[in-house]
Amino acid sequence: MSTTPYLLVRLGESLAALPASAVRRVVRGARLHPLPGAGPGLVGLAEFAGEPLAVLDLAQLLGKERRGARPAVTVVTWLGSGSDRELVGLGVDEAIEVTELDASALALGQALVGGRPTVVVDTERLGVEA
């Protein structure tokens, strides 16, 4: 049974898993500039490695209810694939650990991690209209 590494993150009370191969860096305390007039999915703009980085709210993107507090941790992630690939910040409440999931998890979109249901995120399709 082959497995792939995923970064486990917490969004409020629920869990999500991001493929580790798509994650560039986990950053805490990044300086976020909010944009009035932007949609609820955008937490703000930041700077990463000398480039501008748009930080999106992962909970919003996955269609979950958003509580008051701003996401404390930014996961700098490659979204899309091939020539379409771009670096985007995903705002989460907490980055927990890197764990191995079965290779089928991505196709299923779901997995059980430590008994808890976890959304497995397809970073190639995230943020694009269904």
Partner 1 sequence: MFDRHALRSSMPLAPVGIALLTVLLVVIAEAKSGSSWRSTSALLVAALVVAAGLPSIRRSFALRTAKQADRLRLIASLDELAAADLVRAKAIAADLPAAFAIPLGEALAPLEVLATRIQSSSVEVAGAAGAVKRIASELAAGSSEQSASVVEITAAMEELAQTATQIAGNAEAQANLARLGEATGNEGAAAVSRAVAGVERLRERIAAIAKRAADLERRAEEIFGVLALVEDIARETHLLSLNAAIEAAGEAGDVGRRFGEVAEEVRRLSGRSRDAAASVRRLLEEFSTSIAATVEATSAGGREAERVLLRVTATAGAITGLRDALVETAAAAREISAGTSEQRTASLQVVQTLREASSVVQQIADGLRGFSGAARDLEEAAVSVQLLAQGFRLASPSSLRHLAESWATELRPLLASPDALERRLESLLEERPDVELVFVTDRRRQRTAIVGQPALVRAVPIPDEIRFGHDFSDRPWFRAAAAERRGVVTSVMTSILTNEKVVTAAAPFFDGDELVAVLGIDINLERWTSG
Partner 2 sequence: MTGGFLIVRRGGVLWGLPAEHVSGIERVERVEPAVSGLDLLLTGGSRLAVESVLTLAEDLAVQPLSARLRRFLPAGSSGLAILAGEPIVLMMREDDASHV
Q: Give the CA distances from residue 101 to residues 29, 119, 121, in Å, rounded to whole numbers and listed in that order.
A: 29, 12, 12
Asked if residue 11 binds partner 2 (CB under 8 A), the reply is no
52 binds, among partner 1, partner 2, none (CB under 5 to 8 A by kind): partner 2
Tell me 32's DSSP state. Answer: -
Binding map of partner 2 across residues 21-50, x = CB under 8 A, - = no contact: ------------x-xxxxx-xx--xxx--x
Q: How far is CA 35 from CA 40, 54, 65, 80, in A?
A: 10, 10, 21, 24
In angstroms, rounded to a whole number, what is the distance separating the alpha carbons of residues 107 and 109? 5
- Is residue 130 within the footprint of partner 2 (CB under 8 A)? no
Residue that the structure tokens 């808890």 belong to:
116
Question: x/- contact string, 48-67, with partner 2 (CB under 8 A)?
Answer: --xxxxx-x-----------
Binding site for partner 1 (CB under 8 A): 5, 7, 20-21, 23-26, 28-29, 49-50, 95, 97-98
